[in-house]
Amino acid sequence: MSKSHLNLKAVFNKERTFRPKKRFDPGTVKFDLHKKAQASLRSGLDLKTIVVLPEGEDLNDWIAVHVVDFFNRINLIYGTVSDFCTNESCPIMSGGPRYEYRWQDNGKYKKPTNLSASEYVAELMQWIEQLINDEAMFPTKVGTPFPKSFQGTCKKILTRLHRVFVHVYIHHFDRVHSMGAEAHINACYKHFYYFVRNFNLVDRRELEPLKEMQMTICHS
């Protein structure tokens, strides 16, 4: 077994997941869609093709499955650098000197608030976890309609998850590279990028911090 393979096993060990993974129950529409999406990923198909809505499927179901999958994967990615992303090393949630992100959730933080990167990500993951476990927002039962606010909420979730990619790539890429995890994280990012662009779920301005990398690896 190669050294890089051993590194990846250590990096993406379940114990390093930042928060518990969200799973769909077998027998549900979303479980079947999730399995279909995962099978397509493993098949080696072009990522631009994989993100397209399968014929006959509901768009909101497709978005829901991907939001949960990206939550789980970005969770895992951040877990690989979380030991190096401290209040001291990253006192502001940012993507280089030009981009700073403040946290607001209309609960504990009613106004945009400067947090360290680790605090921002912790608040973000908790906020997303509550939303995707809320049956009123992410219904799992067949025939239960999605709320009118569903796609708007997903846009906000995916926009904020993209900021985690921005922070990891700009501030912790040396760690990613030293672990031999670069190719894996690039593949996760490409999948995310093609999905949000295909369904216009993240504003282009939010994608700007990683524009050079997108031009290199996404060929958009």
172 is in an annotated binding site: yes
- Classify 94 as helix, strand or coil: strand
167 is in an annotated binding site: yes
Q: Which of 114, 95, 97 is nearest to 172 (CA)?
A: 95
Instruction: Report the C-alpha gap between 26 and 32 in whole angstroms.
Output: 8
- DSSP run (H or E) holding 24: none
Q: Which of 2, 140, 164, 166 is nearest to 75 (CA)?
A: 164
177 is in an annotated binding site: no
Site of tokens 């590279």? 177
- Cα 132–Cα 125–Cα 20 angle in degrees, nearest 5: 75
Annotated binding site: 85, 90, 167, 172
Annotated binding site for Zn(2+): 85, 90, 167, 172
